[in-house]
Amino acid sequence: MIRCFTVNFSILTGLLLSSALVLADDFATKWDEAEAKRIEAAELGYEWRDTEKILKSAKKESEAGNTEKAMALVAQAFEQSKDAIAQSQREKENWASRVPK
């Protein structure tokens, strides 16, 4: 009985640890993707004010074990940079229409 419990406990711990590692890996990948997007927006001169701060907060949350919150922040930063890049493309087309004639 005790042996059976020990085996089950080990399996459970193993599963939990491996899922935590998968999440951490997933976070690192997503964070890198969001950071690359931020740099892309910055190179276009269109980075938004808070994107870098959001990514820093995401790292802190991840280090504190709040993976769910960390992932949400990374997703927010990624979306911001995507929108910033779209904004730069839109403005290339539209800025001249605002010049007084």
What is the rounded CA–CA span in Å between residue 42 and residue 88?
A: 10
For another protein, the binding residues in 40-59 under the rule CB under 8 A are 42, 45-52
**Minimum gap (Å) between residue 13 Cβ and another protein:** 44
Dihedral (C-alpha) 18, 22, 25, 26: value to the nearest 10 degrees? -170
Nearer Cβ to another protein (4/99) = 99
Under the binding rule (CB under 8 A), the answer on residue 5 touching another protein is: no
Least gap, CB of 95 to another protein (angstroms): 4
CA 65 to chain centre: 15
87 contributes a contact to another protein by CB under 8 A: yes
- 5 or 97: whose CB is closer to another protein? 97
Q: Contact between 81 and another protein (CB under 8 A)?
A: no
| Alpha-carbon distances, residue 82 vs 27, 52, 68, 73, 95 (angstroms) | 18, 14, 21, 14, 19
If we measure between CA atoms, which residue out of 98, 54, 99 comes closest to residue 80? 54
Q: Which residues bind another protein (CB under 8 A)?
A: 42, 45-52, 80, 83, 87, 90-91, 94-96, 98-101
